[in-house]
Amino acid sequence: MSTMLGSEFSRRSFIKGAGATAATALLAAMGISATDATFAFAGDGGKTFTYAIAGDPSVSPNVITTGDRFGLMTLKLVYSPLWMYNADGINYFLADSYDTSDDGKTLTVHLHEGVKWQDGEPFTADDVVFTYEAIESTETANQYSQLVYDQGKVEVKKVDDLTVTFTFPIAIANAAEMISQGFIMPKHLYEGVTDWEHNDVNNTPVGTGPYQLMEYQPGQYLRFEANKDYFLGAPHIDQVVFQIVTNENTGMQAIQAGEVNAWIGTPAEVQQMNIQGNGLTVTPYSEGRVAYLAINCNRVTNENVRKAILYSFDKPAICNAALLDPQYYDVEYTFLPTISEFYDADAVEKYDRDVEKAKQLLADAGQANPTFTIAYDSGNTLTETDALMMKEQAAEAGITLNIQAVDPTALSNTMLDDGGDYDMYFGGYIMGIDPTTFAPLFESDANWNYMHWGDAYPEIDELFAQGASELDPDKRKKIFSDLQAAVQNTGAFYPLYSNKRLLVTTSNVTNIQEAGLVPVYTFEDLSKLDMQ
């Protein structure tokens, strides 16, 4: 993910109502200046893995409301989900399996036996019920699923200590995804807590995960020690340090000097580095992120004018200028990432560059030589490149694009405003696997529909609703093909690329594939990572 505050979504948004509205999962880049960062921290013996992260979790993360990337990475070390639902399938953690009823409404979850919290207390179904009831009753819950629909809440019941049922008020095709990746918290410690963000329990978190948080120095680092009793096997690495490095140059220097063992770079940074000479490895992996340009329909009201703007762009050239090498990205043509099984570029209008068509559309609309303002996050070099390329390309169709760098918080605020200050702006998101989880960004009344098309495209809402309740795989595929086409036909949403995340590691880091590279958290199970 980039650091486009407010315009970025993580996959841990939540579903509420027959359609979906999202809790923000903003990827903040907070903390002190990285020029103040120190790499003097050393482990107390054993294997220590130091990961340079680009932001500070700021306050002690909690299971219910934490939504920033670095807070979620912290949670993933300390706590465990029932399972992880990824593009390549399900990997189980606190659950061993689940069964689905014939009507598609009830999931019966079978929990892993013998799991203990890091304080020695047993993990049971009571903890699961407690956690999900807290999610349902907390308006600001930032779990993957709020599990509250217009027809009612999902009923979570304990059958016995190792069995829980989730009963949805309606049939939901992706019910298993909706309850995945919500970290489970200990009932015996949080029972009675009313303020999830500010309480003493957060300061010394107790989870079931592979590591325990031992020390947090704001703006500097977080230190974790291995949970030797981790129920999936003791971690290979004794100590993990999240070193907070918000300055890109500092991070690049640190990984080359071996002061940290892992760091995330951009294609331009990786090309500047002496990868081979410093014994480094670059591992590109997809987070299913979609970077896009949104056009505000309240400011650019004519659909054909919006389409003219899109026809003036040369998407492959823009992608290559920003990301340098096709191995680092996939060109995007729909709102779904290319890794989705439902991705269907053949179903949509791709807006391949056609300058003459753009001119004709403008002439038909009586808007020859229009001028628009395009805004981008002032801290994002990729979108700056995108904007500059678009400005140059649009000029050939007689379109003037004034580009403006905007503070990320201000950009977030204006994107939420249906009037706003800009005609178009850049965003990006990492959502779920099933297309219905993208509804918070595209439904008519969704707060995070940055295109602000109101009720102009009711067919989009209808297709999202149909896809959510349809259980037949073939019928769902057709629904989502039609849905992708409908979104692109608005001329207001222009997907650009799915940029891969580039993990740079030192030569002594091993078992990267075994640990699993996944969206947001980097590693699916860091206990499997190893060092020579």
Residues 457, 481 within the same domain:
yes
CATH number for position 393: 3.10.105.10
User: Which structural domain, as residue segments, surrounds residue 432?
Assistant: 290-499
What is the token pair recorded at 13? 């948004």
Whether the predicted pLDDT of 262 surpasses 50? yes
Report which of 309, 340, 438, 481 is spatially closest to residue 13, judged by C-alpha positions. 438
153 vs 461: which has the higher pLDDT: 461
Q: Which run of H or of E encompasses 318? A: helix 315-323
Residues 390, 477 within the same domain:
yes
Cβ–Cβ under 8 Å, residues 197 and 205: no
Residues 342, 462 within the same domain:
yes
Residues 192, 52 within the same domain:
no
Residues 338, 463 within the same domain:
yes
Cβ–Cβ under 8 Å, residues 133 and 157: no
Residues 244, 326 within the same domain:
no
Residues 51, 134 within the same domain:
no
Residues 203, 238 within the same domain:
no
* Residue 2, pLDDT score: 29
Whether residue 7 is contained in a domain is answered as no
CA angle 201, 47, 529 (to 5 degrees): 80
* Final residue in a domain of this structure, among 162, 184, 208: 208
Average predicted confidence (pLDDT) for the chain: 89
The CA-atom distances, in angstroms, between 409 and each of 72, 430, 434 are 21, 19, 29
Integer Cα distance of 438 and 442 in angstroms:
7
* Final residue in a domain of this structure, among 208, 226, 250: 208
Whether residue 9 is contained in a domain is answered as no
Please list the residues that pair with 405 across neighbouring strands. Answer: 376
386 vs 4: which has the higher pLDDT: 386
Q: HSE, CB side, 13 Å, CA atoms: give it for residue 450.
A: 26
What is the token pair recorded at 189? 């410690």
Q: Is 356 exposed, middle or buried (0-12, 13-18, 19+ CB in 10 A)?
A: exposed
Residues 507, 468 within the same domain:
no
Tens digits of per-residue pLDDT, 403-461?
Answer: 999 998 899 899 999 888 999 999 999 988 899 999 989 999 888 899 999 999 999 99
Report which of 346, 320, 361, 387 is spatially closest to residue 482, judged by C-alpha positions. 346
Cβ–Cβ under 8 Å, residues 54 and 246: yes
Confidence of residue 37 (pLDDT cuts 50, 70, 90): very low
Whether residue 1 is contained in a domain is answered as no
Whether the predicted pLDDT of 499 surpasses 60? yes
Average pLDDT over residues 276-292: 95
Number of structural domains in the chain: 3
Phi-psi region of 429 (alpha: psi -120 to 50; beta: other; left: phi over 0): beta
Whether residue 195 is contained in a domain is answered as yes
Task: Name the residue with tokens 């407690």.
Answer: 130
Cβ–Cβ under 8 Å, residues 380 and 3: yes
What is the SS3 assignment for 155? strand
CATH number for position 244: 3.40.190.10
* Residue 380, pLDDT score: 86
Q: Which run of H or of E encompasses 128? A: helix 125-137
Whether residue 386 is contained in a domain is answered as yes
Which backbone phi and psi does 117 adopt, to 5 degrees? -70, 160
What is the SS3 assignment for 67? coil
Residues 399, 273 within the same domain:
no
CA angle 106, 110, 116 (to 5 degrees): 135
Cβ–Cβ under 8 Å, residues 500 and 328: yes
Whether residue 201 is contained in a domain is answered as yes
Whether residue 21 is contained in a domain is answered as no
Indicate the Cα dihedral angle 462, 463, 464, 468, nearest 10°: 110
What is the SS3 assignment for 456? coil
CATH number for position 95: 3.90.76.10
Tens digits of per-residue pLDDT, 188-209?
Answer: 999 999 899 889 999 899 999 9
CA angle 79, 83, 87 (to 5 degrees): 120
Residues 368, 516 within the same domain:
no
Residues 301, 374 within the same domain:
yes
Integer Cα distance of 293 and 257 in angstroms:
37
Give 159-191 as a 3 state SS string. Answer: EECCEEEEECCCCCCCHHHHCCCCCCCCHHHHC
Integer Cα distance of 462 and 333 in angstroms:
21
* Residue 11, pLDDT score: 37
Confidence of residue 8 (pLDDT cuts 50, 70, 90): low
Whether residue 392 is contained in a domain is answered as yes
Integer Cα distance of 305 and 307 in angstroms:
5
